[in-house]
Amino acid sequence: MFLVSVTNALRISSNQPDAPLRKDSVLAQELTRAMYLTQKEIEESEAEFHLIRPLQDMIKAQTPVVYFMGDSTVRNLFAMFCFLLTNSTEVLNSNDHRGMGPSCKNEDSSAFYFSSWESWDDIGEGLQIMLKSNSSQPTSILTNSGLHSLWLPGVREKLTIEGVNQVVHYKTALKRMLDQFIQVVPQTRIVVMTTHSICESKWHGQLHSAAELVNSEPERAAKPCVDKLKSEAAEITIGEIQQFCTHAFFTRKGVMWLNQYAKDAVKELASDRIFMMDAFELTDCQCDYTDFGDGRHYNRLILPELKLFVDALKRQTA
């Protein structure tokens, strides 16, 4: 049985874009919509997986204070976590821009959200902002940054020095941020979430054509990117340009490539306070759980995805 009747869709209002997109493309506009978690999706997830009560019991036993830090995929996990804490959507406030978002709590646990779709460095700055804003020190942090670093020719382009640096220095920036976290909040457990898989079969028109091109002819797809950056970005090496333009595609393969850097960073740090949460493995090839025109939010998998995080907390406190 679903534990609570909710009259309105569960949403955290947010208007931030996923990336610079072509304004004349209807399909590009679809990608600007962050796919908010809804009551219907929660009910569908619960009907299939029956995890609301077990997760509530697990959270109550752990009494965590959690910072959720990242983009819309992290925000949806925060929204589901808050629903489990409060059995209500009333605590959810709007969050229109990068920065401190809503929070929620019950008598045992609390959660806070920092919205960032930029980079690991931005999330690192976000921790300082959250600590200054909150009296509650986190027992755990869940974080992810990935989808917004990727590009797709003609549709989703971030062909700038900053965009290239975010990708080619992705692992270095993640390790720097995690080192910072360990120093600033030494008692906190940190969970790094891999980026969701992308289901290109849910795309159509220009998006689908762009994905087909980069998957079948990556060098041809990358050439305009290489030419543009070579002519405009003297500070970036040719090798860095090639690495970005030929690998950092907004596709399943591009996500896999980026996720490997995240896994390598966590492995190399070898800290007993840093854990991986493999959301990619959960969402990969699960196209039935993402909407047509989206392909990257798997909201009907929200309960098993949140269970990955709660399980990680359970392991940490064991």
Let me know if residue 52 belongs to a domain: yes
Nearest CA-CA partner of 10 in 65, 61, 86:
86
Backbone dihedral angles phi then psi of residue 70, each to the nearest 5 degrees: 160, -155
Let me know if residue 136 belongs to a domain: yes
Domain that holds residue 185: 26-148+169-200+267-317
The pTM score is 0.89
Sheet of 274-277, strands arranged across: 99-105, 110-115, 65-70, 140-143, 189-193, 274-277
pLDDT value for 152: 94
Q: Which residue has the tokens 């850097």?
A: 261
Specify which of 33-37, 97-101, 200-204 reaches the highest per-range mean pLDDT. Answer: 200-204
Let me know if residue 273 belongs to a domain: yes
What confidence tens digit (pLDDT) does each residue in 257-315 have? 999 999 999 999 999 999 999 999 999 999 999 999 999 999 999 999 999 999 988 76
Tokens standing for residue 292 = 């047509």
Tokens standing for residue 46 = 């619960």
pLDDT value for 96: 52
What confidence tens digit (pLDDT) does each residue in 233-263 have? 778 899 999 999 999 999 999 999 999 999 9
Let me know if residue 246 belongs to a domain: no
Let me know if residue 130 belongs to a domain: yes
Let me know if residue 69 belongs to a domain: yes
Q: pLDDT band for position 156 (50/70/90)? A: confident
Q: pLDDT band for position 121 (50/70/90)? A: very high
Query: Residue 87: what residue type?
Result: N
Mean residue pLDDT of the chain comes to: 86
More confident residue, 30 or 153: 153
CATH of the domain at 52: 3.40.50.1110
Let me know if residue 143 belongs to a domain: yes
What confidence tens digit (pLDDT) does each residue in 163-212 have? 999 999 999 999 999 999 999 999 999 999 999 999 999 998 999 999 99
Let me know if residue 226 belongs to a domain: no
Number of folded domains in the chain? 1
Q: Can you spell out the DSSP letters for 228-289?
A: HHHHH-TTS-HHHHHHHHHH-BSSHHHHHHHHHHHHHHHHHH--TTEEEE-HHHHHTT-GGG
pLDDT value for 58: 95
> Looking at residues 10-19, what average pLDDT do you find?
38
